[in-house]
Structure 1
């Protein structure tokens, strides 16, 4: 695919000492939905602000659609922007908020009216054209902000935690709507969030940031199924961690000793040699209770500490498999869940393909 955005050798410091973004090289393809994901202070929002022109890189260059933008002010970049706080003009109606970017660009009145009408229809707000932002719900205000960012037909739209202020149900609804609009228009989106579930749901690719560096960038499924290091594994979804030492390497797998006489087979991701310490990562939903012979590659005994009912699934916390509780997640329809009572001894197991040997991380 054709690259629309290039960030080359980007570094950013605010105090001349500490780098908040370090040696960043990033390409964003035309029509892509790329999410920058990471904890607070990881550098993701700073990258978005540099793309928008609100911050200037300390070193490096930004190229958008073949044009060097590094020193260009925000108003000359032709980028749509959606913020968490909506940033709507309170003294203007919905239609007037939408018309404003077109008036700045001096579009003919007939074309302006046509675009406003189409934008209102796109976000299903035609009946609310004459209302002020204060007369709208949070979700309606966010749809206005989205329509305003798209109305002048930018090739690139930046979104900074746009759904952070919405409740869970509305947030999920807006995720769907934003993806539908993206699919229809084919606009390029760079989206910032700290919500890993949101990133997995919405993105073509996800760039996971930590300490000013992209730890891994890839499609959501690959990120979840094959995290590149222990930080990504811990930040994306939920995982159990067991620490051990590599005793043998077998092609793409390795044998890891997690306790005297207890060895586990795992996929080799972040280890390179025998006698190397490693952190094993196993997703709770990949663990089986009382597995049948041949169903799994590893079987370990544990004791049920507690059982939590979550409606569609049941979560059991087991002890005896490390310093922290080991979590097993089972569908509510699973008959094995009936055996999970506090104090019970159980056997659990998993396939070696679902156990990743990563770089060492404190459990």
Structure 2
């Protein structure tokens, strides 16, 4: 079995610089498996879109090689890579009908006229737009235009589909609907998809695997639940979802758990993720939904007292802002079980969490890459 036989895409020691000094992508090694839906997620300027553009052939790597299967493609023209592409702005030809837009990539590939019509019909049926083939793009809604863009990327049976912020121009409800539609198409056809987004919820909802980028490097590559539940460093913890982050000094280590002394003298137990020694500073990460109000008095729990600052009603849950540990402000998410879940500002409450839900990470989260 070949070195890349199980991979649809391989980035091997790929770097990209525009000025010879700053690496936009820094020695990237990444394998995307056949049939995988991989999302590249990160702040602006983190390198994710540059990776996608190099894979598509619109940018050239400064060093390293990119493979489609076993085939190196750095010197292969974009139109010869057999890659479908979906852009945020749809990039549809306004003077062509929907069917003509889909026929265009087939014509440039010299597909016979006899084969074009059934391929267009099949692609439109995939996105449930078979009845709109005669319309112009301007006569469609934003969601319909995005479906056409997806169909056009699929119409020539590509080896790989790339999507660059494809849902960014849609409103929230339509964006969520399209997330599920794209994921269903991926599952039904067994496509390999590389998807770029800055939307965390989108990446977690749609992906088999998520690559978190910062400063041109992958900070963590894992499944959505691993990214959210077990961030490997403080950048990922701060970037994904909502977290209560607070720092302290490691005073004990052992058996995967450490004891951390906070600035006010309080001590908490946490799962040890950092390899920092005793005496070093650590940044602690604690999800708001992992904190319990009036927790049980049980081994392995950190129990403290906090003062309610405010409570915000969000519908399915309440967001309670609490002052703890002499000044830290924690967000606590409480499930809304009844309309009488009232906490008042100034009220003292007991709260706590399991040591396994609090993660001791590296001390510095770092800054997001600049655009």
Coarse TM-score class (shorter-chain normalised): over 0.9
Counterpart in 1 of 2:146? Answer: 142
After TM superposition, the score normalised by the length of structure 2 is 0.94
Deviation at 1:106, TM superposition (A): 1.9
Question: What CA distance in whole angstroms lies between the structure 1 residues aligned with 2:130 and 2:328?
Answer: 54
Q: Is the 8 A contact 2:247 2:281 kept in 1?
A: yes
Q: CA RMSD in A?
A: 1.6
After TM superposition, the score normalised by the length of structure 1 is 0.96
- Between 1:93-102 and 1:265-274, the stretch displaced more is 265-274
Question: What CA distance in whole angstroms lies between the structure 1 residues aligned with 2:300 and 2:201?
Answer: 28
Question: What CA distance in whole angstroms lies between the structure 1 residues aligned with 2:242 and 2:141?
Answer: 33
* Residue 364 of structure 2 corresponds to residue 348 of structure 1: no
Deviation at 1:323, TM superposition (A): 5.1
Residue correspondence of structure 1 range 21-170 to structure 2 within 5 A: 21-170=25-174
Question: What CA distance in whole angstroms lies between the structure 2 residues aligned with 1:244 and 1:325?
Answer: 15
Q: Deviations over 1:92-136 (max 9, x none)?
A: 000111111111122222321111111111101111110000110
Q: Deviations over 1:233-291 (max 9, x none)?
A: 00111100111111111211111112444211110001332111101100000100111
Question: What CA distance in whole angstroms lies between the structure 1 residues aligned with 2:310 and 2:87?
Answer: 41
Q: Deviations over 1:206-240 (max 9, x none)?
A: 00000111001011111111101000000111100
Counterpart in 2 of 1:9? Answer: 13
Question: What CA distance in whole angstroms lies between the structure 1 residues aligned with 2:235 and 2:147?
Answer: 34
Question: What CA distance in whole angstroms lies between the structure 1 residues aligned with 2:308 and 2:221?
Answer: 37
Q: Is the 8 A contact 1:240 1:281 kept in 2?
A: yes
**Which of 218, 221, 227 in structure 1 is aligned with 2:222?**
218
Deviation at 1:296, TM superposition (A): 6.2
Counterpart in 2 of 1:288? Answer: 292
Question: What CA distance in whole angstroms lies between the structure 2 residues aligned with 1:200 and 1:123?
Answer: 22
Q: Which runs of 5+ in 1 are unaligned?
A: none
Counterpart in 1 of 2:369? Answer: none
Q: Is the 8 A contact 1:252 1:268 kept in 2?
A: yes
Could you say what secondary structure the match of 2:74 adopts? coil
Counterpart in 2 of 1:309? Answer: 313
How many residue pairs get aligned? The number is 362
Counterpart in 1 of 2:301? Answer: 297
* Residue 215 of structure 2 corresponds to residue 208 of structure 1: no
- Between 1:10-19 and 1:280-289, the stretch displaced more is 10-19
Question: What CA distance in whole angstroms lies between the structure 2 residues aligned with 1:131 and 1:155?
Answer: 29
Q: Is the 8 A contact 1:242 1:321 kept in 2?
A: no
Question: What CA distance in whole angstroms lies between the structure 2 residues aligned with 1:293 and 1:354?
Answer: 16
